[in-house]
Amino acid sequence: MRWFAWLSALLLALPAAAAAADPHVDLTLRADDRSAAPQSLVPATPSGLLLQAEARGTLRLGAGLALQGNVLLAHQRLDDAGGSDASRVNELHLAWDLGAWQLSAGKKVLGWDVGYAFRPNDVVQQEARRTQFEQTPEGRPLLQLEHFDADTAWALVLAQAQNWNDRAAFGAQEAALAARVYHRVGALDLHGFARQGRHSGPSLGAAAAWVAGDELELHASARVFRRHDGWAFTGDALQPAVQLPWQMRTLGGGSAWLLGAQWTGGPHLSVLAEAWHDGRALSDREWDDWATRNAALRALAAQAAQGPQAAWRAAAAGNLAWQATPFDAPSLRRDNLFLRLAWQPEDWTLSIDALVTPADRGRVLTAALQWKGDHWRVDASWRAYGGPAASLFAQLPLRRQALLALTRSF
């Protein structure tokens, strides 16, 4: 098996390279138990097992130069679906330390902004938030110039340059120029952001985080954009299509913002609350049109089931499956509320959180437990999607997902 050969070779090579490369390896065995939602538009991902090794290290080349890498070797086996390789290179970049100046070139994880559940100004990495199992995301190809002093830092980034002439490179794959400036004034952290996308055009953002006292922290972030990439329906609203009617398009302008607060007090207790608006999500009217189309397709399928119209039944079923396409978005609804309660005694972290969409009263509830020792880490979590039958979260393919992961660090 290819993944096993890669893993074995890596583990055997690490001791020889230890002195030069400062290697670190996390070996994880993870089990996922997933329950499908009844009458879902598309089948849910089956339950399964995942074995992975994440290796990272820094090879120092002298004269301030260093090669930094993070490689994920992974093999996944799903129930009734066989095995698949999920290996990737998360990071591989050359870093040049010139004192106050820093230069990086290659594939690198570069996350910006101050939010927890949502980040309006994460314009380079565009990382998926609130994952059940936290691990290093896949970085972006970039060239970065940074400068630091005691209170101020700024960065200029050219991201995804290889896609400069690719009009089909959307979202985080779009070639773009980005800039960030940071300045600290007492207990207040101020951030400014700018991005010029190859086809999405300019956007500007700002963020602030303020430690208001020993127990209270406040943060806010906002961005305005001329255009954005998102899902657009290109077919007939009430008739089956012969090809996928949902297409990724460059759409109009809008804004995104977040307000949040975190209270830390009591016996290892913390409470986080955030509210945000994501102007890149489909509007309430577009979701209403989506629901109307679902009803029309189901009525067509029911009508065809009463006669010898097998082709119409197949067309309606296929189009209903295509209706799940816009679920692949950072936010389903534009307006969201998030609340998280965490308790952290010693090596343990117990958390409970809820994401709610006021427009349709949908909700995602998550409970998680983590224990972390010197070399071992155990993660367990449970997530449930629900709400009224018409809510978007209640119509996702998954109804519940439980996760258990055991990690050994070397």
pLDDT for position 17? 47
Q: What is the CA radius of gyration of the chain?
A: 23
Are 237 and 292 within 8 A, CB to CB? Answer: yes
Tokens representing residue 373 in the block: 């020792």
In single-letter form, the type of residue at position 70 comes to: N
Residue pLDDT tens, the chain, 410 long: 454 445 444 544 444 444 456 789 999 999 999 998 887 778 888 999 999 999 999 999 989 999 999 999 999 999 877 789 999 999 999 999 999 999 999 999 999 999 999 999 999 999 999 999 999 999 999 999 999 998 999 999 999 999 999 989 999 999 999 999 999 999 999 999 999 999 999 999 999 999 998 899 999 999 999 999 999 999 887 788 889 999 999 999 999 999 999 999 878 999 999 999 999 999 999 999 999 999 988 888 777 666 656 666 778 888 888 999 999 999 999 999 999 999 999 899 999 999 999 999 999 999 999 999 999 999 999 999 999 999 999 999 999 999 999 999 99
Contacts of 291 (CB under 8 A, 6+ apart): 390
Rounded Cα gap, residues 16 and 410, in angstroms: 14
Sign of CA dihedral 152, 156, 159, 165: positive
Rounded Cα gap, residues 84 and 392, in angstroms: 30
Which of helix, strand or coil describes residue 79? Answer: coil
87: region left, alpha or beta (phi > 0 left; psi from -120 to 50 alpha): beta
Return the closest-CA partner of residue 257 out of 204, 183, 188, 201. Answer: 204
Tokens representing residue 234 in the block: 């290109």
Tokens representing residue 384 in the block: 């449930």
Rounded Cα gap, residues 51 and 39, in angstroms: 31
